[in-house]
Amino acid sequence: MEFLYKLRKGYYYAPKLNDPKRPIKQCFSTPFSAILIEKLEEAEAKCRINKSYPVQELDALHNTIRLLKRKTSDVKYLIGLISAFNPDDEIFSETYYF
């Protein structure tokens, strides 16, 4: 319940299913959640350097990453986060195999 409350307040970030700006992509070969969290951290750092997203969203993403490191994370949720912040990642390529 606390997660949902903080999500609504903007403390955490969740990808939206029908967002035309950031569609959720499909991953053909799903890596482990630890690898996805590393990729998510790289995407966050890249977005902060490029200033391609609002700081408030990146702060919420950072808080979400910290939470996902402590708790068991859902792979589909992680893939949705990566597709929102780094849609060109190698995991979305049809030739990517893990």
> Which whole-number Å values give the CA distances from 71 to 24, 57, 64, 74, 95, in the listed order?
23, 21, 10, 9, 30
The amino acid at residue 87 is P
3-state secondary structure of 20: coil
pLDDT at 49: 94
41 pLDDT higher than 90: yes
Give the residue, 15 or 91, on which the prediction is more confident: 91
Position 91 scores a pLDDT of 92
Label residue 10 left, alpha or beta by phi (over 0 means left) and psi (-120 to 50 means alpha): left
98 pLDDT exceeds 80?
Answer: no
**Residue 50: is its pLDDT beyond 80?**
yes
pLDDT score for 45: 95
What is the domain partition of the chain in residue ranges? 2-14+29-92
* Distance (Å, whole) CA 22 – CA 38: 20
- pLDDT score recorded for residue 52: 87
- pTM reported for the whole predicted model: 0.84
CA atoms of 65 and 73, how far apart (whole Å) = 10
Reply yes or no on whether the pLDDT at 19 is more than 90: no
Residue linked to tokens 């979400």: 64
